Amino acid sequence: MYNYLSGGFLAYLNRDLLLGIRNKSDLIKPLIFFLLVSALVPLAIAPEADRLAQLAPGIIWIFAVLATLLSVERLFSDDLQDGSLEQMLISPNLLILPILGKITAHWLMIGLPLALLSPVIGVWLSLPSVAFVPMMLSLAIGTAVLSLIGAVGAALTLPRQGGVLLALLVMPLYMPVLIFGSATIQSAVDGLTWTAPLAILAAFLAIAIALCPLAINVSLRLAKNG
């Protein structure tokens, strides 16, 4: 196992994955949530395939956003409580890499499983099968952006531990991802080029990788001051 002094990307990635695997229930909760709320949709609206298929791209993305939001709250708060955040912050190395490591672990444990699970919901909501691959790709890329932006919110709200405040901070910033994510699926359903909105999602990811860790770096230090 790696240690905190090496301060690297892989050290924190490995540790957070290990912690996630040891604590499986936390890992599975967002996925269960994703499946459960999706199962409510046909009950609340109508079990008609056409109407469900029409709503599917948006619904899948809204639930993906909520599932990420639920889980991102604890990204730094556990570390703050047990004191390992302090130890991370006083490492002599750059903080950017540990931060990215933690976020990557979060994405591997939440975003990627959501993307892999999404065909189930696609089938439930009668999404045309042509849209399955675009859906999984858009979710895989989009949830990575959501994890990065969500981490900024989680870092900023550390002294008061997320909740509604986190949602208020992060949701407006999630809008572009939501728009282009569901547009990717919708374009595929309509037989348009779905790679264009997907490419824009990827561009968001590039911007977020470059900027979010910087904002998180400064925010995490404030938590102690709060």
Applying CB under 8 A, the span of 34-42, 79-87, 101-109, 111-119 interacting with another protein comes to 79-87
Q: Which two structure tokens, joined as six digits, stand for 48?
A: 């008609």
Q: Does 25 bind another protein (CB under 8 A)?
A: no
One-letter amino acid identity for 56? Answer: A
Q: Indicate whether 6 belongs to the interface with another protein (CB under 8 A).
A: yes
| DSSP SS3 for 3 | coil
Q: Is 73 helix (H, G, I), strand (E, B) or coil?
A: coil
Q: Does 195 bind another protein (CB under 8 A)?
A: no
Burial 133-168 (b: 16+ CB within 10 A, else e): ebbbbbbbbbbbbbbbbbbbbbbbbbeeebeeebbe
Of the residues 97, 152, 189, 198, which one makes contact with another protein according to CB under 8 A: 152
Beta carbons of 101 and 151 less than 8 angstroms apart: no
Q: Is 218 in the site for another protein (CB under 8 A)?
A: yes
Provide the minimum distance between the beta carbon of 129 and another protein in the complex, in angstroms, as a whole number. 25
Does position 15 interact with another protein (CB under 8 A)? The reply is yes
Burial of 92 (0-12, 13-18, 19+ CB in 10 A): exposed
Residue 58 within binding range of another protein, rule CB under 8 A: no
- Hey, is 163 helix, strand or coil? coil
Residues 9, 17, 19, 112: which binds another protein (CB under 8 A)?
19
Query: For binding to another protein (CB under 8 A), which residues are involved?
Result: 1-6, 15, 18-19, 22-23, 81-84, 86-87, 89-92, 149, 152, 156-157, 159-160, 165, 168-169, 171-173, 175-176, 179-180, 183, 204, 207, 211, 215, 218-219, 221-222, 224-226
